[in-house]
């Protein structure tokens, strides 16, 4: 019985993570798109040879794909979980940039919120990893 309960908890955690990714991804390509551009560091546009809007849209699309993949591709669960964890690591410099510049983005309009957001990244990485390891 405890093994089943553990599997159920991971399944619920995976579903919640998928919902989070889908909601965040949709916001990046719709209503929040303009506001998220300020999170993109200037060096990222130079490195990727594109503009901030394209990075925000690509980031949103990737979030949606990862969220859908968590639900629709159970055999690839571990790989997708690793990709989600890597994605959360990859976007961390944007969070640092936003905190250092003190610029607001959707849902992060105070210095306190921007600073607290930095500490959310590690639990997100752990969540993605743990929820996809069954």
Q: Where are the domains of the chain?
A: 2-131
Band (2; pLDDT cuts 50, 70, 90): low
Average pLDDT over residues 41-63: 96
Distance CA 127, CA 53 (A): 28
pLDDT for res 123: 98
Residue 56 reports pLDDT greater than 90: yes
What does the angle CA 107 – CA 43 – CA 39 come to, to the nearest 5 degrees?
5
pTM over 0.85: yes
Supply 37's token pair. 């551009």
The partner residues of 105 in beta bridges, in order of sequence, read 108
- Of the candidates 111, 120, 102, the one whose C-alpha atom is nearest the C-alpha of residue 20 is 120
pLDDT tens digits for 112-124?
A: 999 999 999 999 9
CA dihedral (91, 92, 95, 100) positive or negative = negative
């Amino acid at each position: 019985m405890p093994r089943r309960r553990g599997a159920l908890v991971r399944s619920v955690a995976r579903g919640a993570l998928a919902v989070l990714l889908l909601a965040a991804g949709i916001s990046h390509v719709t209503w929040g798109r303009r506001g998220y551009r300020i999170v993109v560091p200037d060096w990222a546009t130079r490195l990727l040879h594109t503009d901030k809007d394209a990075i925000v849209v690509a980031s949103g699309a990737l979030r949606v794909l990862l969220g859908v993949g968590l639900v629709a591709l159970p055999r690839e669960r571990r790989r997708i979980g690793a990709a989600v964890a890597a994605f959360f690591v990859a976007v961390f410099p944007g969070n640092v940039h936003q905190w250092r510049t003190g610029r607001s983005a959707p849902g992060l309009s105070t210095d306190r919120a921007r600073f607290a957001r930095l500490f959310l990244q590690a639990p997100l990485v752990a969540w993605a990893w743990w929820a996809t390891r069954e």
